[in-house]
Structure 1
Amino acid sequence: MASQRRRAMLCILLGLGLSSLGSAIVNIALPSMSRSFASSGATTVWVVNAYQLSATVCLLPVASLAESLGLKRVYASSLAIFVLASLGCAFAPTLPMLVSARLIQGAGAAGISVAGIALVRAIYPQRMVSKGLALVALAVAIPGALGPTIAATILVVAKWPWLFLVNAPFGLAVPLFVAAAPPDVRVARPLDLTGIALSALAFGLFVAGIGTLGIGDGRIATGEIVVSFFCFSLFVRQQLQHPFPMLPFDLFRIPLFALSVWTSVCSYAAQILAYVSLPFLFETGMHLSAVETGLLVTPWPLMTAVTAPIAGRLTSRYPASVLCSIGLMFLSAGLLLMVFLPTTPSKWDVVWRLALCGIGFGLFQTPNNTAMMTAGPIGRSGAASGMNAAARYVGWSLGSALVSLIFGLGGDHGAVFCLAAGMAFALMGSATSSARRFR
């Protein structure tokens, strides 16, 4: 049983690592893509936005499918889709085709995130769940740490399409996972096509509207946001009347779970606001090379990888509310210090500030995920995992869309304004996490 768990866990971590690498490696290459397609920075950011948007839209439907079709089947299929879409990204001849391939890749990432995290709780006994989730945090953080360096190294010797080709060999892990994973537990439920359509319109129009507020006709973007709220209200009403809702209302009635979800949304919005804007700050504002940018961004995810397992051990001794609040205060302090970076900073000026951000994020991630995944009954692990991933991708989608908006309105100071916005989200997340102590 232990050996089977290790093999299954290895494949789960591999898929989660690939989805993390797919995001981290692209951020560094955005300036190169912008030059390759002769497009603006605000337009090229949609290579990131498309991935996050697609993943966000697909999360709730995938969580529903995972409970009806089985976690193992959904995970294996999603990993295969992700790898094939990576090939599509590598061979995309135009920016619109690249964005389209990233939409498909994001759908695969959604399945990997939902089914992968739910499988962790299925594989490990209750007393070891935090250990498994700490490994998940490492699987996400380590590729994030290596992503900038890998991207910088590849861009020195090859063009940006090779950033996507690195995923191709890992598609061979799909058969290995199918053989090693535990048997599926399925729940018979019909596919809610109406709910899927309403959730796609709600999330899709909201992110698209925010992302295009600073580009072109603002009335169209404002209309998209208004319609998104209308669609979301219809979605909630439809879900309340559905016998098998995609929105887990039973879990949201648990204060610990609901507050953990909002803490996660704020934290990941802060993270992506910084991750997407930093390459532009370093390459455009500080005139650094792609290699220097990759190395300079690395301290954040590297320190997250170092801190995550420590936070996993602390989770059994201290409340998640305390650990997450402290971590997010560190994150907000690091981002504030980046806002007030000297005009001609040394490398060390940047490194220690981003390292502080990484320590804070690592201290938040594992305790918050553990609180979210264990707040409800084990039979609702699929729904809890879906909302865990949904919170992450909603935060990323909101953050990346805000980057596009801020870049469109902020001009040359867009990157600094993004860091300030990230600090504000980190502070909101810290306040929300603190509220869990009184529930």
Structure 2
Amino acid sequence: MPPPSEPTPRDDTPPGQAAPAPDHPGAIPGAIPDGLPYPRRRWATAAVALAITMAVIDGTIAGAALPTIAASFGISPADSIWATNAYQLAVTVSLLPLAALGEIVGYRRIYLGGLVVFTLASLACALSGSFEGLVVARAAQGFGAAGLMSVNSALVRFIQPRAHLGRGLGFNAMVVSTAAAAGPTAAGLILGVASWPWIFAVNLPIGILTLAIAWRSLPESPRGTQRFDVLSAVLSAGTFGLLILGLDSLAHGGTASSALAVVVLGLVAGTWLVRRQAGVARPLLPVDLLRIPVFALSIATSLCSFMAQMLAFASLPFLLQTGFGFSVFLAGLLTTPWFIATACAAPLSGRLMERFPAGLLGGVGLAILAGGLAALALLPAGPAPWDIAWRMAVCGFGFGLFQTPNNRTMVGAAPPERAGGASGMLSTARLVGQTAGAALVGLVLGWMPGMPVEGPKTALEIGCALAALGACVSLLRLRA
């Protein structure tokens, strides 16, 4: 799929800036070029798109295969959840440390290293002879995926000219949305003709091809002179890992006291981390970037939006299957318009950014998302599939209209040498928001047992309120 940038002359390095040396891919001998020359820009965009597609698909494809994996190893469905939890937890705890390391050693190295680890771990997943081995391999795969996600947006900043950065991020958002939608479908197709190890084995040829393209095309980025703070990396991993485990415990029926203890430990680690990082020029947890008003407001908007999104994603299966009696296949099919609409809106919003401020686009997009969630919460009893599909499309279009301007603003608000920290914060906000949203759904359904329609609809109403709050926060960026 061609990237969104327009064809330009082969050497489009801005006047007065040095072009990359031909014998060292992506080298920056002088000033930082404004994007890569064409056609190398297209190859680099393709490499980033292929790698992030694998990482996103593997976050969802295993979930669709859990019943098959549980039957294969003779374990309970509850235990099989660790095949997905291990991946998600590994991604979350390593995102910020890898983003900080990318600012020191270069984003290209982190990306290539993550791609190698992800591909080898995929092979280990396919060859796993025990469920414990599969969980360990999935965790390793998550660390590799974190290498891709942590610096993905930062690399786009060096691949695309600044004038086309919105389009580049819009293209990435479209790829992520399409991959998220393709995960369950891909799992169904593979499991229809082969055994579950093949859902991981298919990553091998794609990973090798992507590595070959990325090695020749990805740009270098300026490297920092600071040392990597190992203790801060451990504290960062502990902060987010403990917070997620605590919220996950609540969502899966854990006791409130044990979950609270884990969350408190995470907050203690986070407080220690913030104090340790105070005054550091380039902190691992980039709290200094939060002093930039637009960046801080974009982070808050992102948290609200992804909590609202996950409140919908986690509650809709219960509403459609248990509440309305749709089959698993039809329920999955009815969510597809959300992803299709997001994939269509993402590149459109990237182009609209050239004419309208991101705060306005984000506010309008989240207002549309809030309206779509409200419409889903007001579904009548026994709705027709079309009644659900158009509401899903409204939600997806609103989310897609918001996502690209928000991502572009977050990455663009940070200085170029801090793009790694901004990219890591972007991914961390997404994962924390999604985890908190899933935990809220678990709490709501736990408070309203035996209410297959009212419980999920309450979760959708909370999501509507969060999307509306996010729209208000986004509009505040017009003043900032």
Q: Normalising by the residue count of structure 1, what TM-score does the alignment of the two structures yield?
A: 0.90
Partner of 2:332: 294
Partner of 1:358: 396
Deviation at 1:421, TM superposition (A): 3.5
**2:215 paired with 1:147:** no
Q: 1:101 to 1:366 in 2, by over 3 A?
A: same
CA contact (8 A) 2:117 2:144 kept: yes
Letter in 2 for 1:178: W
Give CA-to-partner distance per residue, 1:22-63, whole Å, 9 cap, x none: 23434544566677665356x655544443332221111001
**2:240 paired with 1:190:** no
**2:473 paired with 1:432:** yes
Q: Distance in 2 between matches of 1:283 and 1:91?
A: 34
Deviation at 1:428, TM superposition (A): 2.5
CA contact (8 A) 2:235 2:270 kept: yes
Q: Helix, strand or coil for the counterpart of 2:39?
A: helix
Q: 1:252 to 1:216 in 2, by over 3 A?
A: closer
Deviation at 1:369, TM superposition (A): 0.9
Q: Following superposition of structure 1 onto structure 2, how do residues 128-167 of structure 1 map, counting pairs within 5 Å?
A: 128-158=164-194, 160-167=196-203
CA contact (8 A) 1:331 1:358 kept: yes
Instruction: Decide which of 401, 411, 415 is 1:377's aligned counterpart.
Output: 415
Letter in 1 for 2:190: I
Q: Helix, strand or coil for the counterpart of 1:223?
A: helix
Q: Distance in 1 between matches of 2:449 and 2:205?
A: 40
Q: Helix, strand or coil for the counterpart of 1:53?
A: helix
Q: 1:331 to 1:100 in 2, by over 3 A?
A: farther
**2:351 paired with 1:310:** no
**2:262 paired with 1:221:** no
**2:464 paired with 1:420:** no
CA contact (8 A) 1:49 1:400 kept: no
Q: Distance in 2 between matches of 1:44 and 1:216?
A: 17
Q: Helix, strand or coil for the counterpart of 1:370?
A: helix
Letter in 1 for 2:102: A
CA contact (8 A) 2:66 2:77 kept: no
Give CA-to-partner distance per residue, 1:371-415, whole Å, 9 cap, x none: 111112222222221222222222223233444444555445454
Q: Normalising by the residue count of structure 2, what TM-score does the alignment of the two structures yield?
A: 0.83
CA contact (8 A) 1:5 1:123 kept: yes
Instruction: Decide which of 122, 145, 161 is 1:109's aligned counterpart.
Output: 145
Deviation at 1:99, TM superposition (A): 4.2
Partner of 1:65: 101
Q: Distance in 2 between matches of 1:358 and 1:197?
A: 36
Q: 1:404 to 1:266 in 2, by over 3 A?
A: same
Q: Distance in 2 between matches of 1:232 and 1:218?
A: 21
Which stretch shows the higher mean deviation, 117-126 or 159-168? Answer: 159-168
Q: Distance in 1 between matches of 2:180 and 2:108?
A: 25
Deviation at 1:21, TM superposition (A): 1.8
Instruction: Decide which of 216, 230, 241 is 2:268's aligned counterpart.
Output: 230
Instruction: Decide which of 267, 287, 295 is 1:257's aligned counterpart.
Output: 295
Which structure features the higher share of helix residues?
A: 1
Deviation at 1:129, TM superposition (A): 1.1
Q: Helix, strand or coil for the counterpart of 1:308?
A: helix
Letter in 2 for 1:146: A
Letter in 2 for 1:174: L
Deviation at 1:269, TM superposition (A): 2.1
Q: Distance in 2 between matches of 1:97 and 1:349?
A: 44
Segments of structure 1 that go 5 or more residues without pairing to the other structure are none
Partner of 2:246: 209
Segments of structure 2 that go 5 or more residues without pairing to the other structure are 1-36
**2:31 paired with 1:2:** no
CA RMSD of aligned residues (A): 2.6
Q: 1:83 to 1:277 in 2, by over 3 A?
A: farther
Give CA-to-partner distance per residue, 1:337-363, whole Å, 9 cap, x none: 223333322211221111111101110
Partner of 2:163: 127
When Rg is computed on C-alpha atoms for both structures, the one with the higher figure is: 2
**2:66 paired with 1:23:** no
Q: 1:123 to 1:267 in 2, by over 3 A?
A: same
Q: Following superposition of structure 1 onto structure 2, how do residues 330-345 of structure 1 map, counting pairs within 5 Å?
A: 330-345=368-383
Deviation at 1:67, TM superposition (A): 1.2
Q: Distance in 2 between matches of 1:54 and 1:310?
A: 33
Q: Helix, strand or coil for the counterpart of 2:270?
A: helix
Which stretch shows the higher mean deviation, 87-96 or 239-248? Answer: 87-96
Deviation at 1:430, TM superposition (A): 1.5
Q: 1:276 to 1:153 in 2, by over 3 A?
A: farther
Partner of 2:48: 12
Q: 1:93 to 1:38 in 2, by over 3 A?
A: same
Instruction: Decide which of 56, 67, 80 is 2:116's aligned counterpart.
Output: 80
CA contact (8 A) 1:138 1:309 kept: yes
Instruction: Decide which of 286, 301, 311 is 1:273's aligned counterpart.
Output: 311
Letter in 2 for 1:337: A
CA contact (8 A) 2:51 2:207 kept: no
CA contact (8 A) 2:158 2:221 kept: no
**2:247 paired with 1:200:** no
CA contact (8 A) 1:257 1:372 kept: yes
Letter in 2 for 1:254: I
Q: Distance in 2 between matches of 1:417 and 1:160?
A: 36
Which stretch shows the higher mean deviation, 241-250 or 362-371? Answer: 241-250
Q: Helix, strand or coil for the counterpart of 2:214?
A: helix
Q: Distance in 1 between matches of 2:125 and 2:436?
A: 23
Q: Helix, strand or coil for the counterpart of 2:386?
A: helix
Q: Percent of aligned positions with the same letter in both sequences?
A: 42
